[in-house]
Structure 1
Amino acid sequence: MLWIAIRMLTGDAQKFYGLLFGIAFSTLLITQQLTIFVNLIERGASGVYNAPEAEIWVMDPVSRTTDVKYEMPSTALDEVRSVQGVEWAVPHLRANANVRTSTGDLEGVSIIGVDDATLIGLPDRFSESSKTILSAPDTVVIDDVGITNMFEPGEDPIGQRLELNDQRAVIRGVADAIPSFTSQVTLYTKYSQALNYVPGTRNRLSFVLAGVRDGETPAAVAQRIEDQTGLKAETREEFAEAGIDFIIENTGIPLNFGITVALGFIVGVAIVGLTFSLFIRDNIKQFGALKAIGVTNRKIAGMVIAQAGLVGSIGYALGVVGTVLFIYGFSNNPTFKGFYIPWQIPLVSLVAVIVILALTGWISLRNVMNTEPAAVFR
């Protein structure tokens, strides 16, 4: 009976391909939009991910993310170092500035000052040069995404001179960093040099990055820092999550992507439901004939479920493959750098496809169940 059901489905090529298109399009839209949404909001934690050595981030109590922060006095560094369980603690500066390029163009950049001695706070990987290049005077390291914003295609950034607050800066390295949420150009330099590039108020220390001793847990040491210093201390995971939550709570991104995903589901229900209903209507005589020769409603239901399962599995596979090809095709685009498909998203799409097929299949199956065998002979 299942073979008959499949032959009935594939025999009408127009409706068969229409069903495949509906499922594939819905799967593609849902999977692609959820993938972009997850990767986009994760960039709210890029500042944390780009400083992999830091186990604890210490900040002013009102600070919320790596970009929404309030500077602390320099004495906060010694206070953190004095807390039991802290293995090391280094200063970390983050500030915005305007830079003038050698061609006279003005570009907004993010300046990140890392510890002079240990260079903790730099990304692990470099596209060109290495961390030790910061030992050269007036050196800054640019992130690879920033190159596309500041320089023409094919132009070599190494050796380019910039003007920061009437100070000379020379690009001598390219960091392979996770782009920020705004994809702003990021320049890394030593903490002492960053103080000259972005002069400001009396308090200049943005964060204190700390590591814990063997036998201690970051959560316990962070709590100890808060109790002893009155500052806010969060583990790497907590602070990364805070950056993601800030984007979710303060932007319209979740709503916009949620609407797109909902439209993908609605379009899938409309296309598949209409096409499946037309298919059932056109084959109602065949189903009636099967009932006339003794095929039970249970077997008829099994045939419809098999038809829906075949269409759903092929359409779902096409949609997921389409999303993979989309992400792979744009992997060289700086906007999509580092994008990946979390394993949970295909599962969400699979559940959506099952719901679409269940709704449309149930509506179509009602017509089959209500068909009288005698209608075939009228």
Structure 2
Amino acid sequence: MFATAYKFIRFEKSKSTGILLGIIISIYLIGLELGIFFYLTTLIGGVINNAKPEYSQVFVVNKLTNNANILSPFDKRWVNQLRSIEGIDDAHGMVMANVSVRFDNGESSPAIIIGSEYPELAAGPSESLLNSGSTNNLFLQGTVSTDFYDNKTFGYDVKQGTSFEISGKNVTVGATTKNAKGFSSPMLYTTDATARYYSGFSEDAVNAVIVTVKDESKIDEVIERINTVAPDLRAWRSEELKNATVINVMTANNMGMSFGTLVIFAIVSGFFIIGLTMYSATYDRIKDYGTLKAIGATGRHITLLVITQSFIYAVVGFAVSLLLLVGTKFGMAKAGLIINLSPQFLAFLFFVTLIIAVASSMFSIQKLKKVEPSSVFR
């Protein structure tokens, strides 16, 4: 079956090339759009993603908050009060404020400074994100972390040991990270005391409390207790707050609709381009299919032959699309845009490729069902 299907593909080289190009372009665009979309969701949930996972099972924020990038302050005394709740192993206050940074070359940029209690630094950065230096360096007065990929935003080659100004006060980079980024502005991580000093944030307030619950089976019970004890606050599972943040930002900016429309357009246009080109190739070889029927091939055999051709197109087209996506991934990584080509994502793309290719072949299959063996003599 594969040998026969390959012969039909080989006989129509120009149309086969058109079909492959249709698949390659469609799958490349779908993969690229979804890759960028998932990367943006990572940035939008950066406050949650960058926190240390060993401490950040639960986030407690203002009751009206459903966006981790906009956290209203509340009384700092809640940190100690939450520690007394049954099931909570520890609680860590988090400070987050907007600041302005300035470098010695005159470049300036807005930034977000995030601080939490030392030595845990529960708000981040997590050890897996470190590029140089150590989180222990952030204990020193006047030190913060910066992200390698934010250097372009800063307009300055920031490294460990680099000095610059935050709101007119000198600061030194004690550690650098890779991909510990936020959605709107560069993120600077440090201790809560340092964050308060540079931002002027109140000593009596925090933006969030990061709650540690080591026993995962108790997380829901702890959340219920917190919401009962603190009616003006709300406890979230970290993953749920991240998802709520992504939904909030995506709906507010219509980003989800934009990406969804582009993906649907790529699927639909690919379906019709591939389907009509495959139909044209089938029509040109209608006598060959009639010959197969004349020598005893059943309608089921003809259908399987066309579907096999579709499968070959799908495999080859997906392989080329994957090469293009990998090349794009490395190219974009240099600019700090990280596309994650996970096995699950690639499996999904291959499934979409098969669906587009096989569904497109239905035009040809419907045509061939009407072919009579006598068409050979016409």
TM-score, length-scaled by structure 2: 0.90
Number of the residue aligned with 2:26: 26
1:158 to 157, 160, 165: 160
Number of the residue aligned with 1:259: 261
What amino acid is the match of 2:247? D
Number of the residue aligned with 1:188: 189
- Measured in 2, the distance between the counterparts of 1:374 and 1:119 equals 80
- Runs (4+) of structure 1 exceeding 6 A deviation are none
- Measured in 1, the distance between the counterparts of 2:41 and 2:164 equals 31
1:47 matches 2:47:
yes
The worse-fitting range, judged by mean Cα deviation, of 117-126 and 56-65 is 117-126
1:221-279 CA distance string (max 9 Å, x none): 12211211222111222222222222332222211111211121122123212221111
- Measured in 2, the distance between the counterparts of 1:199 and 1:306 equals 67
The 5-angstrom pairing of residues 259-298 of structure 1 reads 259-298=261-300
What amino acid is the match of 1:188? Y
Residue 342 of structure 1 and its aligned partner are, at CA, apart by: 3.9
- Measured in 1, the distance between the counterparts of 2:7 and 2:86 equals 74
Give secondary structure in 2 for the equivalent of 1:111. Answer: strand
1:112-162 CA distance string (max 9 Å, x none): 11214433322123222111212322222212222332243xx35333333
The worse-fitting range, judged by mean Cα deviation, of 98-107 and 255-264 is 98-107
Change (3 A) 1:6 1:227: same
Residue 105 of structure 1 and its aligned partner are, at CA, apart by: 2.6
The worse-fitting range, judged by mean Cα deviation, of 207-216 and 98-107 is 207-216
- Measured in 2, the distance between the counterparts of 1:116 and 1:367 equals 72
Number of the residue aligned with 2:333: 331
- Measured in 1, the distance between the counterparts of 2:222 and 2:346 equals 38
- Measured in 2, the distance between the counterparts of 1:188 and 1:108 equals 14
Number of the residue aligned with 2:36: 36
- Measured in 1, the distance between the counterparts of 2:119 and 2:295 equals 87
Q: How large is the RMSD of aligned CA atoms in angstroms?
A: 2.3
- Measured in 1, the distance between the counterparts of 2:99 and 2:350 equals 46
Residue 96 of structure 1 and its aligned partner are, at CA, apart by: 0.7
2:123 to 106, 121, 124: 121
Change (3 A) 1:370 1:216: closer
Give secondary structure in 2 for the equivalent of 1:90. Answer: strand
Number of the residue aligned with 2:94: 92
- Measured in 2, the distance between the counterparts of 1:369 and 1:214 equals 62
Contact 1:93–1:207 (8 Å) recurs in 2: yes
1:56 to 44, 55, 58: 58
Give secondary structure in 2 for the equivalent of 1:295. Answer: coil
Number of the residue aligned with 2:148: 144
- Measured in 2, the distance between the counterparts of 1:226 and 1:6 equals 64
Contact 2:114–2:195 (8 Å) recurs in 1: yes
Give secondary structure in 2 for the equivalent of 1:29. Answer: helix
Residue 169 of structure 1 and its aligned partner are, at CA, apart by: 1.7
- Measured in 2, the distance between the counterparts of 1:215 and 1:239 equals 16
- Measured in 2, the distance between the counterparts of 1:2 and 1:156 equals 57
1:327-363 CA distance string (max 9 Å, x none): 2333332122xx3124443344334333333333221
- Measured in 2, the distance between the counterparts of 1:312 and 1:104 equals 53
Contact 1:91–1:115 (8 Å) recurs in 2: yes
Structure 2 unaligned residues grouped into runs of 5+? none
1:144-187 CA distance string (max 9 Å, x none): 222332243xx3533333332332222232133432123x2221
1:196-239 CA distance string (max 9 Å, x none): 21125686310111213658622221221121122211122222
TM-score, length-scaled by structure 1: 0.90
1:295-350 CA distance string (max 9 Å, x none): 332322222222222222222232233323322333332122xx312444334433
- Measured in 2, the distance between the counterparts of 1:124 and 1:200 equals 23
What amino acid is the match of 1:220? E
Number of the residue aligned with 1:373: 373
Contact 1:71–1:206 (8 Å) recurs in 2: yes
Contact 2:108–2:154 (8 Å) recurs in 1: no
What amino acid is the match of 1:42? T
Residue 61 of structure 1 and its aligned partner are, at CA, apart by: 0.8
Number of the residue aligned with 1:132: 136
- Measured in 2, the distance between the counterparts of 1:39 and 1:156 equals 23
- Measured in 2, the distance between the counterparts of 1:108 and 1:61 equals 27
1:212 matches 2:213:
yes
Change (3 A) 1:304 1:105: closer
1:304 to 296, 300, 306: 306
Change (3 A) 1:202 1:329: closer
Contact 1:73–1:202 (8 Å) recurs in 2: no
What amino acid is the match of 1:227? T
Contact 1:43–1:244 (8 Å) recurs in 2: no
Number of the residue aligned with 2:113: 111
What amino acid is the match of 2:11? G
- Measured in 2, the distance between the counterparts of 1:214 and 1:22 equals 51
Q: What number of residue pairs does the alignment pair up?
A: 373
- Measured in 2, the distance between the counterparts of 1:124 and 1:330 equals 24
What amino acid is the match of 1:315? G
Give secondary structure in 2 for the equivalent of 1:6. Answer: helix
Residue 2 of structure 1 and its aligned partner are, at CA, apart by: 5.2
